[in-house]
Structure 1
Amino acid sequence: MPAKPDLTDRLGECSLDSPGFHSLREALYTLLAHCFGFEIDQNAWAALGQLKDMTEAYLDCLGGPDHQLQQEAADLGQLIEELTAGGGEKHLLYLAREYASSFLGVGPNTIPLCESHYTDSNHAGQDSPALRVRRQYQRAGLTRSESFNELEDHLSMELSLMAHLSARSKQAAENSPYEARKLLEWQSDFIQGHLLNWIPAFRSKAAQMSPAGFYAKIACFTDRFLELEDAWIVQEQQSILHGNTEAPQKLTID
């Protein structure tokens, strides 16, 4: 997990095809991947402290506010303030316990973090979610850390792939419009073919098990963020298809 992100290079130039926008996307995906893959440490906590600013900068790039995502970020910000009110590092211990009770247990109160738990149980063999996402990681040239023992369709790994593709989009925005378009297609396929297939059910499960908890709130934020990601990518693809080279209009989403 990187140190506290410096937003100075992300709050300037802001458009859907700017490197700064993809830097923001990479930072958000990286932070969310850490939240679901590991206990919150000091670096992740520092990044969470900037989540509201990162959210506002991201929405500025999309062309306007999104009250739902802003509310999710505000709810997280309020909880973060409450957890740190007493000083010290008790908040990290509190979140470590919540992470363990939410994701590491066994039984009906555990919240599964793998796509295969939520999608059609008929997926098997070469069509299983774990094997399909493994092929995506291989295509991207990514390998799983030996210290990470979860299945390939774990939420943290899927979000890490999106962080990687966002970083590549940043490079392509600077150097190769053709590569940028191909990366948009890849990200759209992965969001629609994997993440949005199960994140709404995961969010509902998290909200049911611990409605006031940190992980329920970060799950709600993640769900809305992915909806917005899908919407702007589809809109951008349509603009490219129709040869629209003008500045993007304000994003609309139901």
Structure 2
Amino acid sequence: MSDTISQNRAQIYWWLSSLVAKELNDNQLQALFSPEVSGFIESLSLEQGLEASSKKLSNAINQLRLRNDCKLELAADYASLFLGAGRSSVQPYASFYLSEEGLLMQQPHHDMIKRLQSYGLAQSEAFNEPADHLAIILDFMGNLAVKDVAVKEQLDCLEQCLLNWLPRWSEDIARHDSFGFYQAVSQLILAFTQADKAFISN
């Protein structure tokens, strides 16, 4: 796989990771509204399998511009979806979806720690979350891509750490995200991981 392709894949994974890691800060919001990100999302929409989800995210960003205090309102959306414990919350952890009891810190968490350690990686101390948080797994996939790790190992991570629970997670987001930004983000994450699996499989 060429260095350019590997770098591009990594950048997409890292960008998607940043969108779900925590509430977006001022710099991230400004970047989200920039012509560069607009062009980036438009380029994604030209890729097979990403057309609908990319356009949905672009529309959601345009709607976000119209909100009175978009930073605070988006932070409230994030907190309601990912930080709460009520019926409107959607846990961004593999353990929640892959353990029979829907508990956190289960086998997927321990498996991700082993994967990180096997490549000499560690999550940032500033990001104090279980290792199977979606943002950490996406960031890890970016590292596998940029390190040009064997396709078999990248496919294994996609299948065992993401694609076995992302469809249900995205469905839950769609049910609970009344505004739609994170719904669009979740659908792009799912579409990209599915498209990436198809790409590296071939």
Judge conservation of contact 2:41–2:54 (CA < 8 Å) in 1. yes
**Identity among equivalent pairs (%):** 27
RMSD: 2.4
> Which deviates further from its counterpart, 51-60 or 36-45?
51-60
The answer for unaligned runs of 5 or more in structure 1 is 1-16, 170-181, 236-254
Partner of 1:234: 201
Q: TM-score, normalised by structure 2?
A: 0.87
Q: TM-score, normalised by structure 1?
A: 0.70
Partner of 1:198: 165
1:187 to 127, 139, 154: 154
Judge conservation of contact 1:158–1:195 (CA < 8 Å) in 2. yes
Pick 1 or 2: higher relative contact order, CA cutoff 8 A, min separation 6.
2
2:11 to 17, 22, 27: 27
Aligned positions of 1:101-180 closer than 5 A: 101-121=80-100, 128-169=107-148
Displacement after TM superposition at 1:216 (Å): 1.1
1:120-149 Cα offsets, whole Å, 9 max, x none, are: 42899xx81111111100012111222222
Change (3 A) 1:198 1:109: same
Partner of 1:41: 25
Q: Count matched residues.
A: 198
Find the structure with the greater CA-based Rg.
1
1:77 to 58, 61, 65: 58
Q: Moved runs in structure 1, 4+ residues, more than 6 A?
A: none
The answer for unaligned runs of 5 or more in structure 2 is none
1:192-223 Cα offsets, whole Å, 9 max, x none, are: 11100110010010001125421111001100
Change (3 A) 1:59 1:76: closer
> Which deviates further from its counterpart, 141-150 or 78-87?
78-87
